[in-house]
Structure 1
Amino acid sequence: MHRKFVIVLFSIQLLLWCIAVGGPVYGQPSGSDTLKVTLKETEAQFLKNNLDLIIQHYSVDQAQAQIITARLFNNPDFSFANVLYNPKTKRFFDTSHDGGEYSAQLSQLIQTAGKRNKNIQLAQISAQQAQYQLFDLLRTLRYTLRNDFYKIYFQEQSARVYQEEINSLAKTLKAFQEQYAKGNIAQKEVLRIQSQLYSLQSELNDLMDGIDDTQSELKLMIRAKPSSFVLPQVDINLEGKNMVSDVPYQRLIDSANANRYDLKVARSVVDYNNINLKLQKATAIPDVTLSLAYDKQGSYIRDYSSAGIAFSLPFFNRNQGGIKQARIAVDASKVQLQSQQDQLESELANDYKGALRLENLYNSFDPKFKQDFNHLIQEVFKNYQKHNIGLLEFLDFYDSYKTNTLQLNNLQLNRISSLEQLNFATGTPFFNQ
């Protein structure tokens, strides 16, 4: 019996030693490059390398080029005609004074009712929309980037807890299996450790699948090598801070209305459709074509010259359909703007309540809880030495330690994510860490 106790005691000591020592980052693939980066460095690489942002920059340039096109005047039209063959003089392209014939005409289209200026305004609004879309894309991608950064950090902390227990239990299981083969311990103790080990390995595998997905997304955003491993360097302390409750809710609403670029896009769509309605009404007014013509001898007198004007008579087509479509587009865009405004306020209210709830929950935790809990596991070991608790009770306690550590990591991640969500909803970096 004494021998059995020594074996189990040795296994427990081995378990605690592995817990204390820890190990390298579990999710790092063998032979990969480790990128130890802060959030500021990650954002700098993102702004420099992200292909989606580069593509959207080109879209802005294209939209601005359309302004140049809209400002250009219509080119004048010139035509020239010469007799091909004169049967009387038997000459090709005869331009002689007596028998030659040729004519020329120059015409210029003049747009009326301010159509050119309205087209310029539409092009300017389109260019502004492209810029708004760039900034909104930046807002969305930066939100994803920051969330991924913190998610990897806290999930890696959780993975370490899993790996420490797995390494410890694997060595303990091996020792127990050897002692079971010698008949020193019962099979139920081996099966208990074996069952817990398999359960932990399965949970860790699911966690690592999530980390790999997040790693892949983050590396794509900053264009890091696919074989590299991003190791976030985080130094934050949110304990006891009332970051959300210190910011008035109305200030968040005002900031969202002023800085949300998707909302600015919706407003610019209303402006675009109002200008387009004016353009469609102006289209009902005919444009004018001015012309100058010369005919050597094809008219009733030699060396005939003329000046002319041409325009269509708006008896039937006065662009009735285009005007009606433009009116409908104005009304639809106003409704869309109101819908987006309502959705923004609803989402912000929900995000604010969630962030405030997480802040209160986090601040309700004793800052010394984790440190005291780590100390407690040492006391549990002493109680095991004194035969006050058994091996299974000790393993159950360590499982509770693992669960609480994971919950604290998730709570910290959820709180930071809620702050990032408020930044995203308001379009303002109120809570950037």
Structure 2
Amino acid sequence: MFKIAIRPLILVSFCVIFTIFRACAQGAPDTLKVSIAQAEDLFLKNNLKIIIQRYNIDNAGAQLITARLFPNPDFSFNNGIHTNDVMQGPAFKDQSFSISQLFTTAGKRNKNIQLAKIGVDQAKYQFFDLLRTLKFTLRNDFYNIYFQEQSAKVYNDEISSLAKTLTVFKEQYIKGNVAEKEVLRIQSQLYTLQAEYNNLLVGIDTVQSEFKMLVKVSPDTYIQPVYNYDLDGKSIVEMVSYQAMLDSAYSNRYDLRLAKINVDYNNMNLQLQKAAAVPDFSLSVNYDKYGGYGTNFIGAGVEFNLPFFNRNQGNIKQARIAIDQSKVQLQSQQDQLQSDLATEYRGALRLEKLYNSFDPRFKQNFTHLIQEVFKNYEKRNIGLLEFLDFYDSYKTNTLQLNALELNRIVTLEQLNYVTGTPFFNN
């Protein structure tokens, strides 16, 4: 029954070994060692989403140029090609021309200019908010890759040690010095670790892929984060008050600025729609060589529509509704900001207190302990079950410490993201 139970584990191990062999056959990928500052530089230079969003700012600037331009005058010319007047004859063909200029009223041009200026600010705020979001993703991916790789080293070391132990025990089993159940127990533990290790590598590959897209490097490149930020024993969250973070968020969150300026945009649009109810007019001058009132007739005229039916009532109502809607949207974002910041701030304080309660030497001492356990097991001073129990405890505690440190750093990044201010991890 024991042999039957480990068959799936053997199959998993074979798949892991095949995957590693195939990767080696394809050649080792290039490794890019990068710090968080270097990663951000690559991101700002190469990220395609950022480049695309910059074009939106240029487009908004072009719309501002258009809004500042005056309408072109209209010109028309008419040349007679036939007449039935027997008195004048075919040589006397009429010629006329006219020129007219449209004039906008009620300050429509200035209001369109103001709307275009707000549109430029909207594009800028959208750009900087996208930048904030993508940088948050970039930094999170950086830290995730680093700490997952630290956990991968734990698996790699344990798998290597158990593989050596298994080789020794197989030799001893052939000589009759150890029981078969001890060999199978080590094999079972080894296959379990290999399966967990493979799942961890899949997770690292996923985050690596996203990170490489953000900084736009070759998919064949392997990212190796360079991280040396020490948080041991530091109470950095307590040094910044909640109110200071909230004030900074109100000042520096570009999505909040966008929500505020949307209210301004809709207010200005309401003024424009009211102005649109006032008719524009055109002034014209015309000349007719053989006019009805004599030769070389010169006339002037004015043209405008009469607002009897359409006084832009529908667009004015829509503009008023848009103002109310944007005000509610602004209030909603402010409420969400306060809620998010309060939650993240409490979580950061809690994680900081928990992390600082651990002895900084614990990880180092525990690593030394497991090395001594391995030596004692080789000398047969401790039994197999005790040896495997120590190893499992070492792996679990190391992974938990890595996860705790990662969570603490990610929480600090979330505070930076929520406030729109780089308070931490600089």
TM-score normalised over the length of structure 2: 0.91
Aligned twin of 2:370: 377
The reply to whether residue 263 of structure 1 matches residue 260 of structure 2 is: no
Aligned mates of 2:319, 2:367 — CA distance in 1: 69
Shift of 1:384: 4.4
Q: 2:75 aligns with which of 73, 78, 81?
A: 78
Shift of 1:87: 4.3
Shift of 1:354: 1.0
Q: 1:60 aligns with which of 57, 62, 65?
A: 57
Aligned alpha-carbon RMSD (Å): 2.1
User: Which stretch of the first structure deviates more once superposed, 201-210 or 369-378?
Assistant: 369-378
Contact conserved, 2:173 with 2:179, CA < 8 A, in 1? Answer: yes
Shift of 1:100: 2.5
Q: Deviations over 1:46-75 (max 9, x none)?
A: 111111111111111011110000000000
Aligned mates of 1:37, 1:91 — CA distance in 2: 91
Aligned twin of 1:37: 34
**Amino acid aligned to 1:303:** N
Aligned twin of 1:46: 43
Contact conserved, 1:383 with 1:389, CA < 8 A, in 2? Answer: yes
Aligned mates of 2:209, 2:87 — CA distance in 1: 82
Aligned twin of 2:106: 113
Q: Deviations over 1:128-156 (max 9, x none)?
A: 11011111111111111111111111110
Aligned mates of 2:204, 2:313 — CA distance in 1: 59
Aligned mates of 2:170, 2:137 — CA distance in 1: 47
Shift of 1:249: 0.2
Distance 1:192 1:288, change over 3 A: same
3-state DSSP class of the match of 1:431? Answer: coil
User: Which stretch of the first structure deviates more once superposed, 83-92 or 181-190?
Assistant: 83-92
Distance 1:202 1:387, change over 3 A: closer
3-state DSSP class of the match of 1:85? Answer: coil
Aligned mates of 2:187, 2:369 — CA distance in 1: 25
3-state DSSP class of the match of 1:314? Answer: coil
Distance 1:90 1:136, change over 3 A: farther
**Amino acid aligned to 1:425:** V
Distance 1:90 1:194, change over 3 A: farther
User: What aligned pairs does 1:11-410 form with structure 2 within 5 A after superposition?
Assistant: 30-88=27-85, 99-381=92-374, 384=377, 389-410=382-403
Shift of 1:88: 4.9
Aligned mates of 2:341, 2:333 — CA distance in 1: 12
Q: Which runs of 5 or more structure 2 residues have no equivalent in the other structure?
A: 1-22
What is the number of residues matched between the two proteins? 404
3-state DSSP class of the match of 2:295? Answer: coil
Contact conserved, 1:78 with 1:105, CA < 8 A, in 2? Answer: yes
Shift of 1:191: 1.9
Shift of 1:184: 2.7
Aligned mates of 2:152, 2:88 — CA distance in 1: 96
3-state DSSP class of the match of 2:293? Answer: coil
Distance 1:91 1:415, change over 3 A: farther
Aligned twin of 1:13: none
Contact conserved, 1:121 with 1:275, CA < 8 A, in 2? Answer: yes
Shift of 1:432: 2.7
Aligned twin of 2:415: 422
Aligned mates of 1:44, 1:258 — CA distance in 2: 25
Contact conserved, 1:149 with 1:232, CA < 8 A, in 2? Answer: yes
Contact conserved, 2:266 with 2:323, CA < 8 A, in 1? Answer: yes
Aligned mates of 2:112, 2:154 — CA distance in 1: 63
Shift of 1:170: 2.1
Aligned mates of 1:153, 1:209 — CA distance in 2: 14
Contact conserved, 2:82 with 2:93, CA < 8 A, in 1? Answer: no
**Amino acid aligned to 1:69:** T
Aligned mates of 1:345, 1:209 — CA distance in 2: 36
**Amino acid aligned to 1:58:** Y
Q: Deviations over 1:145-192 (max 9, x none)?
A: 111111111110100110111122123223323433443322221221
3-state DSSP class of the match of 2:77? Answer: strand
Shift of 1:80: 0.6
Aligned twin of 2:5: none
Contact conserved, 1:85 with 1:91, CA < 8 A, in 2? Answer: no
Q: Deviations over 1:262-284 (max 9, x none)?
A: 11111111110000000000001
Q: Deviations over 1:2-40 (max 9, x none)?
A: xxxxxxxxxxxxxxxxxxxxxxxx99x842111111111
Q: Deviations over 1:264-320 (max 9, x none)?
A: 111111110000000000001000111111111132222211111111111111011
Aligned mates of 2:347, 2:75 — CA distance in 1: 70
Aligned mates of 2:311, 2:179 — CA distance in 1: 97
TM-score normalised over the length of structure 1: 0.89
Aligned mates of 2:397, 2:285 — CA distance in 1: 90
**Amino acid aligned to 1:35:** L
Q: Which runs of 5 or more structure 1 residues have no equivalent in the other structure?
A: 1-25
